Structure 1
Amino acid sequence: MGYGLTNVLLVALGGALGGMGRFAVSNLLARYLGKAFPWGTLAVNASGAFLAGWLLGSLGIANAPSPVWLFTVAGLLGGYTTVSSFSLQTIELWQGGQQLRASVNVAVTLLLGLAMVTFGWLLSGASLSGASL
């Protein structure tokens, strides 16, 4: 399966839906939890990591990703999760004199992301022994 128009459209549609989901979740959490810490970005990245791990364990990865993989992981979760917002918010915290919050954001995002992708993988019924994420 190459990079034909159908595959590009699957990724584009998934990315559009994922981006809208990220926007909604981030804004909802900012409204309820405030903007002193990027809770929305942390939540979308953690939940996206969980779903990616679950899908990886459920669908696996083939040499040529399936249309489901392209839509859900490359598109939907690619648009939903965000390294750029995480990076910008961390820099804003740091430059705003909140070095501790910036450092906590980096550490929690990394550790929670790894934990959530592993949890999703395990919840799918896949085993970590002898397999690679």
Structure 2
Amino acid sequence: MTINHVFVWASKANFQFLRSFYRAVLQPIDYVEMICASENTLIGYGSDYPYFWLKQLPDAKAPLPTHIAFDAPNQEAVDHFYQLALQHGGRGNGPPGIREEMSRQPYYAAFISDMDGNNIEIVHVPK
């Protein structure tokens, strides 16, 4: 069984910035902004279905940072994601490379922190 979708809570102060950030950095895995709902406070991203959601928190509430890992079709997509994330305001949290400690299979991943402190990983594990 797989996970159907994931929500990330975003601060009101960073919501619009995060919206454009994820629109840019999810391109290497063919995710696009698919749905904008609830008066522009809920955004769904995906390829054929909105698997990743960005939800704005009310006013002064602070988000609880989380970790999310996206599958990448190849190592080039991992590299491209990382470059885009840095160009669009993300902070490096682990450059692209093999993570031997993560799997017995070749586990090629990169990590960034978004503006609200979420640890976003993109990984390619050959099938």
Scaled by the length of structure 1, what TM-score is found?
0.28
Higher RCO structure, 1 or 2 (CA under 8 Å, sep 6+): 1
Q: Say which structure is richer in helix.
A: 1
Query: Which one has a bigger Cα radius of gyration?
Result: 1
Scaled by the length of structure 2, what TM-score is found?
0.29
